[in-house]
Amino acid sequence: MRTEKVLGYDVHRKKVKNINLRINSQMEVYISVPMNLHVSYIENFIRSKESWIKKVLNKIETVKLKQTGYEYKTGEIHNFLGEGYVLKVKISNNNKVILKKEREELLLITKFDNFEEKKKIMEKWYFECAKKLFPVVMEKWLNILNERIEHLSIKPMKTRWGSCNYNKRYINLNTELIKRTLFEIEYVVLHELAHLKYPNHGKGFYNYVEKYMPDYRKAEKMLNAKHYY
């Protein structure tokens, strides 16, 4: 298989008879074409499909936006440390959350099958997990970088994954990070600690980060550049 770029799309040349065009839920456009098909033919094909591609991508995006609002119903996928778990809601006489790793299940036990109640229990559980894990990751990186901080706070943050007040040596981490992979959490911790030495995102800052995490760009990409920290 050979891959080439045509009109900005990755086109895979394969032993196929026709041009195939697919879009997956990750919004990736996949185009495969016969081995020796002339490039102008492929361009024409893509042009004829472009408005359709845009329409499908818009639709997927809209669905994704709607999905961010959980209903806390059995069958929903909830994330924890970068893994998706199937939520199972059980009514009992106490409130708790149990992670069944081997079954890839998140058991939400609640007294009341009520949205607000379930949301509260789940958020509390995520917060407790973050409070256990983030200080450990912080301690690890403080040792590696030979730094010290005055205060670590873990709280929900609307637009950022973390923040650093380098004068006071205070660091904030977004509770939501507990849903991300450990790699992403480590990156945000390193990023905020790097601000103690480099307040701005200059060359020095990124050189420093890269020295300790050569593949940090991958983490940034995973975290989505729309979030500033």
CA proximity to 189, closest of 158, 159, 223: 223
- Sheet order of strands, 83-91 included: 77-80, 83-91, 105-110, 96-100
Q: Which is nearer to Zn ion, 154 or 164 (CB)?
A: 164
Q: How many CB atoms lie within 10 A of CB 145?
A: 16
Half-sphere exposure of 228 (CA within 13 A, CB side): 2
- Across 95-224, where does the E strand assignment appear? 96-100, 105-110, 151-155, 162-165, 170-174
27: left (phi over 0), alpha (psi -120 to 50) or beta: left
Q: How far is the CB of 201 from Zn ion (least distance, A)?
A: 6
The answer to whether 178 and 216 are in contact (CB under 8 A) is no
Q: x/- binding map, residues 170-209, to Zn ion, per CB under 5 A?
A: ----------------------------------------
State the residue number with the nearest CB to Zn ion: 229
Q: How far is the CB of 165 from Zn ion (least distance, A)?
A: 12
Q: How far is the CB of 164 from Zn ion (least distance, A)?
A: 7
Q: How far is the CB of 173 from Zn ion (least distance, A)?
A: 13
Q: Which is nearer to Zn ion, 45 or 229 (CB)?
A: 229
Q: How far is the CB of 72 from Zn ion (least distance, A)?
A: 33
Cα-flanking dihedrals φ and ψ of residue 217, to 5°?
Answer: -60, -35
The tokens describing 16, both together, are 């196929």
Q: How far is the CB of 163 from Zn ion (least distance, A)?
A: 8
Applying the rule CB under 5 A, the residues between 96 and 125 that interact with Zn ion are none
Q: How far is the CB of 209 from Zn ion (least distance, A)?
A: 9
CA proximity to 161, closest of 132, 183, 139: 183
Bridge partners, 84 (sequence order): 79
Q: Segment near Zn ion (CB under 5 A), from 33-41, 124-132, 142-150, 221-229?
A: 221-229
DSSP state of 28: -
Query: Binding residues for Zn ion, per CB under 5 A?
Result: 229
